[in-house]
Structure 1
Amino acid sequence: MISILIIFTYAGPAIAETFLEINNFQPSNLSERKLIWPDWRFPSSIKRPRLKDDLIYPDWFEGVWDVTSQIVSDQYQEPIIHSAKFIHNTFGNLIADREYNTQSYALSSKTGGFLLVKNDPKSPNRQFAKLTEDRYLETKIIGRRQEEIDNNIFITDELILQILHTPELSRVSQVETLTEFKKCGSNQKNEINLSDFNICGEQFQAIYNQPGQNLISLPIKTEKSKLILRKTNYD
């Protein structure tokens, strides 16, 4: 089964739900889930998005970024370097350019035989990828949550249904991806400049069996990655 690291396509929720207030501290649900990884179970409480729902990113994501993604458990595998773009929609909200971001990642990964990625024009929650050997990969976001902890930390958790269509059969799996993004310094001292910073991310992924196979759905595979987003320099 092919697993795509769809960090910016999915990918997306609507409005931040939980905040940490300095004077009235409340635990972050997604921070707590991050802490228990890889001991996850299927996220039954995650919310199903409506047809037109999209993930609204904080303003500090705006623009085009060079992204470096490195799997933590495999130090010998070369990092994947690709591009990610965040744009405003017709409502003025900042969203990921899903088609651009997914295709950039897929083609840069050089695995899976990706040829083309297309959004579903009716919903930001579905994408279709054409692969080599007459294969197609359909991805549908079936659950998501997000939390903006403060102006420096943003967490997303998304559950994606993946269907790999081949001439012989179709394979179904469910992929959960939780990503914590933080502003981080762009210099060697890691000092954060308000006008010049990187975004550092930790990404936790679990792959579950297709729906209905197990009463208690434990991951069949887990993976952790480190991300760094650096603002693209066009000069």
Structure 2
Amino acid sequence: MNKISLAYTPFQHILWSFCLIVLFVLGGGDAEAGELSERLANFPQWEKLTSVQPTSGDLIYPGWMAGTWQVKSTLVDLAAPLAPDIVTPGFEGNRRQLNQPVSFLVRFIKRSPFTGLKFLSRGDEKSAILIADRAFNSLNLARAYLGDEAVLSVKVDPESPNRQITFLRSKCSEGRFCDRQLVSLVTARATETTPDGKFITTEVFQQLFKGGSHPYFNSVESTTAYRQLSTSNPAIDADQVTAVYLSPQDPDYFAAASRPVALYRYRLEFFPAELLATSKE
């Protein structure tokens, strides 16, 4: 008889499995050479990463990712490595997302490495770093999946770019609407640049879903390989895998050990937003 883990819900997966592309807040922590690219190549044979480092500061993206992009995200594969013994309740339902692209805007912005401000002085221009506009990106992504009315706002902790809260509204008992929160905390990460120019990142984060009868906690890892293309249609593509791990509160936690209970693989395509706007005129 199959065991069904109660630790993960379809609602949370829809919102966060791809949100990670815009939540990268990496500081230091290079992976061993080739480890992350090898990890993607070994899908779905995954174990929990051991070479990631504790978080500190923002992820600095390569300059070719600067600007505003229309992103098309497509779920292309999924796996339940511990099935039939352990399967998350949302896994089978998420098969409906296969090959169904979802589009939304994201942007990457320059910031002063000294003051942390997005508005640069003349002296900061040459030393500016490129980061994700996390609140803008996450809000657009969440609304693309859940609708404008379901996602109230997204706030990034001004004291820590590693902590973010998404404020949600959904139906609860007796036809009423209830406000809920999804708190995401990035705890570890690593990066890698391959000889052929791919920029690979991985992040491990904890998320807490509040507002239901019982708060829910779990652990998620996302590994993404970005590649600059020679065209503008798209200009960047990426291979992303999101892995879901059980939390210690789950009764199957020790049975799962260090193995993920669900894996989702996405193809990401980045189109320059200004080109799309011009083509519609």
2: CA distance, partners of 1:87 / 1:146: 19
Contact 2:29/2:189, CA 8 A, preserved across alignment: no
Matched residue type, 2:110: H
2: CA distance, partners of 1:63 / 1:232: 8
**Matched length:** 218
Contact 1:10/1:158, CA 8 A, preserved across alignment: no
Between Structure 1 and Structure 2, the one with more strand by share is: 1
Say if 2:152 is the partner of 1:130: no
1:109 alignment partner in structure 2: 145
User: How far did residue 187 of structure 1 move?
Assistant: 6.6
Q: Secondary structure at the match of 2:37?
A: helix
State which of 35, 44, 63 in structure 1 corresponds to 2:41: 35
Matched residue type, 1:154: F
Matched residue type, 2:273: T
Are the structure 2 counterparts of residues 6 and 150 from structure 1 closer, same or farther at C-alpha, using a change threshold of 3 Å? farther
Matched residue type, 1:218: R
Are the structure 2 counterparts of residues 162 and 206 from structure 1 closer, same or farther at C-alpha, using a change threshold of 3 Å? same
Are the structure 2 counterparts of residues 199 and 100 from structure 1 closer, same or farther at C-alpha, using a change threshold of 3 Å? same
1:129-148 to 2 correspondences below 5 Å: 129-132=166-169, 133-148=178-193
2: CA distance, partners of 1:131 / 1:98: 17
Say if 2:59 is the partner of 1:63: no
1:229 alignment partner in structure 2: 270
2: CA distance, partners of 1:128 / 1:16: 25
User: How far did residue 46 of structure 1 move?
Assistant: 1.4
1:23 alignment partner in structure 2: none
1:43-58 to 2 correspondences below 5 Å: 43-50=49-56, 53-58=57-62
Q: Quick one: percent identity of the two aligned structures?
A: 28
User: How far did residue 17 of structure 1 move?
Assistant: 2.9
The one-character-per-residue Cα deviations of 1:176-200 (angstroms, maximum 9, x if unpaired) are 1100111124378xxxxxxxx6101
User: How far did residue 218 of structure 1 move?
Assistant: 1.4
Matched residue type, 2:240: Q
The one-character-per-residue Cα deviations of 1:74-130 (angstroms, maximum 9, x if unpaired) are 575531101110011121110000111111111111279322111011111010011
TM-score by length of 2: 0.71
User: How far did residue 27 of structure 1 move?
Assistant: 4.7
Between Structure 1 and Structure 2, the one with more helix by share is: 2
2:108 alignment partner in structure 1: 86
Contact 1:134/1:167, CA 8 A, preserved across alignment: no
2:136 alignment partner in structure 1: 100
Contact 1:9/1:102, CA 8 A, preserved across alignment: yes
Matched residue type, 1:166: G
1:209 alignment partner in structure 2: 246
Unpaired segments ≥5 residues, structure 2: 1-8, 78-94, 114-127, 170-177
The one-character-per-residue Cα deviations of 1:136-191 (angstroms, maximum 9, x if unpaired) are 10000011111122573100001111110124111111111100111124378xxx
Larger Rg: 2
2: CA distance, partners of 1:219 / 1:40: 7
Q: Secondary structure at the match of 1:8?
A: helix
RMSD in angstroms over aligned alpha carbons?
2.4
Are the structure 2 counterparts of residues 162 and 109 from structure 1 closer, same or farther at C-alpha, using a change threshold of 3 Å? same
1:72 alignment partner in structure 2: 76
Are the structure 2 counterparts of residues 167 and 61 from structure 1 closer, same or farther at C-alpha, using a change threshold of 3 Å? same
Contact 2:221/2:242, CA 8 A, preserved across alignment: yes
